[in-house]
Structure 1
Amino acid sequence: MAALIDAIDVKRKTTFELEGVPYYCLDADISSPTARGGQTLVRLRMRNMLTRAVFDKTFKASDKFKEPDLQTIPATYLYSDGDGSYFLDQESFETLQLGEAMVDDALELMVEGLAIQIDLFNGNPIGLTLPAQVELAVRSTEPGVKGDTASGGVTKAAVMETGLEIRVPFFIKEGERLKVTTETREFAGRA
């Protein structure tokens, strides 16, 4: 039987199950009563891990949640088509398909062969986790203009091989491989 979690014990980055749906806690705020006999309330900012919807909800401190049957498996990105994106499970070597909603805008950061983590709920894929940084090649960018270094911190637009557009230093040329931070989608250095 799955363990139960008290609402008052739910902290930031905790996962829990409510009404058969897994949630991820983004923030927790505990309100203690000022009057006698008042109940301690826990206000949670939570993300539905299936729909990605974010909302706030208040619970009594004594409310209990099930621990979700969540699993993370290593996988490799293969390709995408009109039906979704395909990944190779590195443990069972099965091909897993994730729909467009599950992959969301992560496609702009994925190239063939990228190692990622796939999140499973009750054995079914529900989403993915990218590494902190990915390496992408510059597809197109304007050449730097001599003298741009004087002002320091000068950037220009660059379109990466996946279609992602980021700001890069002026000295970056087409064809170079760059590190891109997946969370902020910003230039992190040369690869």
Structure 2
Amino acid sequence: MVEASGLKSGMVIMLEGELHIVASAGYHAGGGQHGSAVFAKLKNLKTGHIKELRLRPSDKLEEVALDHQEMEYLYTDGVGFYFMNPETFEQISFTAETMGAYQKFLRPSMRIPVQLYEGEPVTIAFPPAVELTIVSTPPGMHEHETSTFKAATLDNGMEVLVPQFIKEGDTVRIEVASGKYLERVRRGTQKS
């Protein structure tokens, strides 16, 4: 059990018999006739619905520990996204609603931690950033080398704004939550 005042983003709790992940939680000190409160946004892991709750700081909630199993992404048939346990070859699937914005970042053979509750898959623990390759982008303008951005198409079909010095073939790191450019990935050259 965890007190409402101890809720943190990313925690998984059991509420009304269903698993929810804490999207955000904030403590607000009370004043006058209003006592202090914790305002939390919880996302139902099965339906994706968001609940907003106002809790007393001392309210107790059931925290759930999820098991992690690295699985390999196989394919999608438009309805489900299929993953395989590389050790047992057991396959599981997630709906498009569960995958959400992560869909566009999946690549065949990509290994991703899947979170399980009592042996059943619940959600995936997608990395905060992924590396993708620039497929097309116009040449950079030298006078605007770092202060302006230009459009670029990534190998997953997404368009993103990148700095002027980025060119076709470069590998860039993209933030999954926002879909924004973070940095260029430099590959070290090794001498033998």
Query: Counterparts of 1:119 and 1:169 in 2: how far apart (Å)?
Result: 36
Shift of 1:189: 0.5
Which one of 176, 181, 187 corresponds to residue 182 of structure 1?
176
Query: Counterparts of 1:73 and 1:171 in 2: how far apart (Å)?
Result: 39
Does residue 62 of structure 2 align to residue 66 of structure 1? yes
**Inter-CA distance 29–69: structure 2 relative to 1 (3 Å threshold):** same
Which one of 8, 12, 16 corresponds to residue 13 of structure 2?
16
Which one of 132, 143, 149 corresponds to residue 142 of structure 2?
149
Query: Counterparts of 1:89 and 1:108 in 2: how far apart (Å)?
Result: 21
**Inter-CA distance 30–181: structure 2 relative to 1 (3 Å threshold):** closer
TM-score normalised by L of structure 1: 0.78
Tell me the equivalent position of 2:155: 161
The number of residues matched between the two structures is 183
**Inter-CA distance 78–33: structure 2 relative to 1 (3 Å threshold):** same
Structure 1 unaligned regions, length at least 5: none
Tell me the equivalent position of 2:48: 52
**Inter-CA distance 19–158: structure 2 relative to 1 (3 Å threshold):** same
Task: Give yes or no for contact 1:17–1:65 (8 Å, CA) kept in 2.
Answer: yes
Shift of 1:99: 1.0
**Inter-CA distance 65–136: structure 2 relative to 1 (3 Å threshold):** same
**Inter-CA distance 8–176: structure 2 relative to 1 (3 Å threshold):** closer
Structure 2 unaligned regions, length at least 5: 187-192
Which one of 111, 116, 121 corresponds to residue 120 of structure 1?
116
Shift of 1:109: 1.5
Q: CA RMSD in A?
A: 2.7
TM-score normalised by L of structure 2: 0.77
Does residue 25 of structure 2 align to residue 27 of structure 1? yes
Following TM superposition, the consecutive aligned residue runs of length 4 or more in structure 1 with deviations greater than 6 angstroms are none
Q: Percent identity?
A: 25
